[in-house]
Structure 1
Amino acid sequence: MTATAISLEHSEIAHQPFPLHLAERMQRLGTETAFEVLVRARALEAKGRDVVHLEIGEPDFDTPGNVIDAAVGALRGGFTHYGPSAGLPKLREAIANDVGRFRNIQVSPDEVVVVPGGKPIIFYCMLALANEGDEVIYPNPGFPIYESMINFSGARAVPIPLREERQFRLDVNELASLITPRTRVIILNSPANPTGGVLDEQDIHDIISVIGDRNIMVLSDEIYSRLIFEGQHFSPLSIPEFRERTILLDGFSKTYAMTGWRLGFGVMRPDLAAHIARLMTNSNSCTASFTQMAGVEALTGDQSSVTRMCEAFRERRDLMVDGLNRIKGFRCLRPKGAFYVFPNIQGTGWTSQKLANALLDEAGVACLSGTAFGSYGEGYIRFSVANSPENIQKALDRIEQWVNTHV
């Protein structure tokens, strides 16, 4: 065989497709449907359709100017290099002070780990605390990454239903029935995505009482804690006897309209914080230094933008809830926090996914099926009110017109 023939033969072999052998764990990895719906909505817009975006869970406000200026100053000041995996000391101290002041407790910087966004705290805690076969209780309907990360870790995801008749607050008696000797972590989310439900102080004390003296960690996702419309936010971190069994998840995305900055944090006992920082070292090395300096300014600078944004979301919530309750087949509670509404659509006779698809494809309103947040979301859809009142009203008009024709 000539050299040319051998070369051609090897070339043909090299271009044969090889099957992709994924690790089995990839079959257990979920997704976040909001981004998939956004892609579909953008595709419709590219064809000339007008779409009202009520699917994405991010503030439509700009990041405050003082925070942007701080980031630019940090870039020019040399904050473009690696930092400690747990976060810059200045930001960790600012977070400790802010968390302590807001929750009326003392927090030390060595309890703080800074990460790029809120999701890494979920991911790292599942990897650090749950072995294969262990159980993690999570809210359903709830943020889909909870279930995804539990399954990916090899643990068993145990849903605690959030029901409309309880204003989407979990039933502590039902929680008690789900706890077993294999339970390692219980995830709480208040205010909650997608329901806007809020756990009050008595709820938290009841949950802690049910756990009792068992060595179970609570991962308390409080990313919407500054966007609360009725009552006061209360954290399990504020209960002294439960402090070492609480992990606080919080961040800058929702409070300061900084979703694209990727800046979040966890607050936990120092020995666990050291292990979470080690996971950061092995995955992300560190969070961007100039972003962290912007975070310092967000926490220590003018807070008036937070107040204005919360009030705007309250007004939009009322507009959306009142409008939906006038539409045939819809029934909507008035959520106490976050920037979502989660109407019951069973009266339309449509399933959640089919209705969400139809509203996008036929009415030009992008929303999410309740089942994007778990099986207990069937019969509901989620609208984000992170859009202008004008666009919310446009969406309501389109929904009502569509319903009057199809329901």
Structure 2
Amino acid sequence: MSWPPIRAELAGIEPYGAPQLDVPVQLNVNENPYGPSEACLDDIASSVREAARTLNRYPDREFVELRAGLAAYLTRDSGDAPITPEMVWAANGSNEVMLQLLQAFGGPGRTAVSFAPTYSMYPEYARDTNTEWVAGTRESDFSLDLEKARALIEEVRPSVVLLPSPNNPTGTALDPASIGALSAAVGDTGILVVDEAYGEFRRAGVPSALESLATHRNLVVTRTMSKAFAGAGLRLGYVAADPAICDAIRVVRLPYHLSAVTQATALAALRHTDELLGNVDALRAERDATVSWLREQGFTVAESDANYALFGMFPDRQAVWQGLLEHGVLIRETGPDGWLRVSIGTPAEMDAFKKALLEVTAR
């Protein structure tokens, strides 16, 4: 018998993670290139110091104040129906939120569905919770064919449907009409999760799924502070849903899973929302300019409502990725064969990327 006695389906599997390399231009994990201001840093530091006074005590396991702050923020995108604190849950990144959803609504004898190409962690959440995984496919432009999607859901009868909007790694936003149709297809036997990790970067006129929460009780919308909020190191993800769904998640959460330091930092960041989101418009413009430039060079580029662009096609994408790395530019080798993904950085970082790409591809 091999050692250690790990579950058979986990044996030999490498843990998830993008390369962490110390290079001048890092454009591979969709981080916000603009950090918080000195004023925000001072607020975080003083808030954490205050929280440290009671580190000998457990934190508020229901993080009531933070849920209220997140609810107020989400209400900006929810249309006519406000988000209440009872409709909000948070965890250590939207990854933990997703895992908790699979723990609560997936499991043995249950199925999770998504449509490839999509976020590579989804099947791992299913695997880790012993949930059967079924992946449909997207169209050639990475959009979702509503009739095909509905047919798969009606055939499989999943307990969880995972739909990122914008989709990772393609950047494709979900057609708003699909939310109502797919929510109805899922019905009362499951939940429809719209993952809006990159939702703040969507283009003008693209609504948030938060607007549909009031009319679809099986709808769950997830967000994160890692991207638009420039809080990748904070590890704070959150969900808006019917209070009954949030209560179900509470059953599977670990005790005191959000530290006092995390709660204090997140609350301080929320007090600086306008500042931290102040660069979103600039990143959108840089994304659109990058997409246009890539197309002008003859590359195929997926439509993007996120802070990254998926582009190709390359007979040997690994060689292009390696060539860029040798020029000090790190992007991501992900998605379908032949494609690469570049995160949107500062203008200087994007200039370095463009120069390196032209040299590597001899254009």
The Cα offsets for residues 214-256 of structure 1, whole Å up to 9 and x where unpaired, read as: 52201121122222233233216624331x2122211211121
Instruction: Return closer, same or farther for 1:339/1:234 CA change in 2, 3 Å cut-off.
Output: same
The equivalent of 1:222 in structure 2 is: 196
Change (3 A) 1:305 1:109: closer
Aligned partner letter, 1:295: A
Counterparts in 2 of 1:287 and 1:360: CA distance versus 1, 3 Å = same
Root-mean-square deviation (CA, aligned residues, Å) is 2.6
| TM-score for the superposition, normalised by structure 1 | 0.79
Aligned residue identity for 1:381: L
Contact preservation (8 Å) 1:227, 1:310 = yes
Describe the SS at the equivalent of 2:148.
helix
Task: Please tell me whether the aligned partners of residues 252 and 263 of structure 1 are also in contact (alpha carbons under 8 angstroms).
Answer: yes
- 2:276 and 2:44 map into 1 onto residues whose CA distance is 17
Matched with 1:344 is 312
TM-score (normalizing by structure 2): 0.88
Partner of 1:163: 139
Partner in structure 1 of residue 261 of structure 2: 290
> Is residue 30–residue 148 contact of structure 1 (8 Å, CA) maintained in 2?
no
State whether structure 2 residue 91 is matched by structure 1 residue 108: no
1:173 aligns with 2:132: no
Which residue matches 2:347? 389
Q: Is the 8 A contact 2:44 2:269 kept in 1?
A: no
User: Is the Cα–Cα contact under 8 Å of residues 370 and 379 in structure 1 kept in the other structure?
Assistant: no
Among 350, 354, 357, the alignment partner of 1:399 is 357
Aligned ranges 1:83-98 → 2 under 5 Å = 83-86=59-62, 88-98=63-73
> What is the aligned partner in structure 1 of residue 105 from structure 2?
129
Q: Distance in 2 between matches of 1:142 and 1:181?
A: 19
Report how far residue 354 of structure 1 moved. 4.5
> CA shift at 1:74, angstroms?
2.0
3-state SS of the aligned residue for 1:311? helix
Is the alpha carbon distance of 1:67 and 1:158 closer, same or farther for their aligned partners in structure 2, counting shifts above 3 Å? farther
The CA deviation string for residues 260-310 of structure 1, in whole angstroms up to 9 with x for no partner, is 11112222333332342243335xx2312233233234334451441x311
Other structure's SS at 2:199 match: coil
Give me the whole-angstrom Cα distance separating, in 2, the residues matched to 1:108 and 1:388: 36
Query: What are the ranges of 5 or more consecutive residues in structure 2 without an aligned counterpart?
Result: none
> Cα distance, 1:312 vs. partner?
1.8
Query: Aligned AA for 2:108?
Result: E
Count of residues in Structure 1 that have an aligned counterpart in Structure 2: 357
Q: Is the 8 A contact 1:64 1:256 kept in 2?
A: no
More helix by share: 1
In the alignment, residue 316 of structure 1 is paired with which amino acid?
E
Query: Would you say the 8 A contact 2:191–2:219 is kept in 1?
Result: yes
C-alpha separation in 2, matches of 1:264 and 1:208: 23
Q: Match for residue 332 of structure 1?
A: 301
Question: Where does residue 262 of structure 1 map in the other structure?
Answer: 235
Distance 1:28 1:339 in 2: 33
Kindly indicate whether the alpha-carbon contact (under 8 Å) linking 2:105 and 2:190 is maintained by their aligned counterparts in 1.
no
Give how far 1:404 is off. 1.9
CA distance in 2, matches of 1:174, 1:25: 30
The counterpart of 1:311, out of the listed 275, 278, 281, is 281
**TM-superposed deviation, 1:69:** 2.6
What residue is the counterpart of 1:369 in the other structure? 333
Q: Matches of 1:68 and 1:25 in 2, distance apart?
A: 44
CA contact (8 A) 1:204 1:236 kept: no
Distance in 2 separating the partners of 1:78 and 1:239: 34
Aligned to 1:274: 247
Inter-partner Cα distance in structure 2 for 1:396 and 1:342: 14
Q: Match for residue 14 of structure 1?
A: none
Paired amino acid for 2:135: P
2:174 to 182, 199, 202: 199
Deviation at 1:401, TM superposition (A): 1.8
Alignment partner, residue 41 of structure 2: 68
Give the C-alpha shift of residue 314 in structure 1. 1.8
Determine the C-alpha separation between the residues in 2 that align with 1:232 and 1:326.
Answer: 25
Change (3 A) 1:89 1:66: farther
Aligned equivalent of 1:120: 96
Instruction: Judge which range, 256-265 or 177-186, deviates more.
Output: 177-186
Question: Is contact 2:329-2:353 (8 Å) kept?
Answer: yes
- Aligned residue for 2:233, secondary structure, equals helix
Whole-Å separation in 1 of the counterparts to 2:241 and 2:76? 16
Unaligned residue ranges in structure 1 (runs of 5+)? 1-17, 46-50, 372-376
Q: Deviation per CA, 1:127-183, whole angstroms, max 9, x where unpaired? A: 111122422112322221112111222222222323343xx3211112122123541
